[in-house]
Amino acid sequence: MNYIFLTGLIGSLVLVTGAAWPESKDVKHPIKSAKNWLFAIGGFIMWLYAFLGYQAGGPVFFVLLETLVVIASVLMMLHISDKINTGIITVIGSAFIIWSLYLFEGYNTVFFIIGLTGIGLGYAFEMGTLRREVALTLGSILIAIFSYIEASWVFFWLNVFFAIFSGYYLYKVLVRKHK
């Protein structure tokens, strides 16, 4: 097991733990949420993993994804309104999408582009909301598909588990809204 894989494994475990961690209704500021800290720390470790992987000849797309996740984590922790977050993530995500299209390596890149946008928005949206859980679930599914096509197994399994846990919390939000 090399240090790059170990970095990805640790980052994945932190992120999956964050995805599984229940959101507390008592937390009024994102910086006080264990779930958000796990997202932020795991996102940074995964950025490091993606960067190290890119340096070793892997695809740059995962560096773009994790850069957006790190930026979205900072916005999330600063508790900036969803309207401002959406604008910032849209501008940065659009720049990454344009760059991704420039680097276009096939139609599987579309899964990456849409997933990237979904994950970025999901991180930045307010905790416990329908829009956050939908964005995280769909973004994770699309990134898992892209990761499968690219045979990037750390990102594949990370996003499979992330999608499962995000889907579970999406289900809980939907049940809560229909009561």
* Successive 10-residue mean pLDDT values, the chain, 179 residues: 91 89 76 87 94 91 85 86 83 80 74 82 81 93 92 91 92 87
Which residues fall within 8 angstroms of residue 139, CB to CB, at 6 or more apart? 114, 115, 116, 117, 118, 119, 120, 121, 122
Over the stretch 104-134, which tens digit does the pLDDT of each residue have?
667 777 788 788 888 878 877 877 889 989 9
The confidence score (pLDDT) of residue 62 equals 85
The confidence score (pLDDT) of residue 117 equals 81
Q: Would you state the structure tokens that stand for residue 45, as one six-digit string?
A: 């470790």
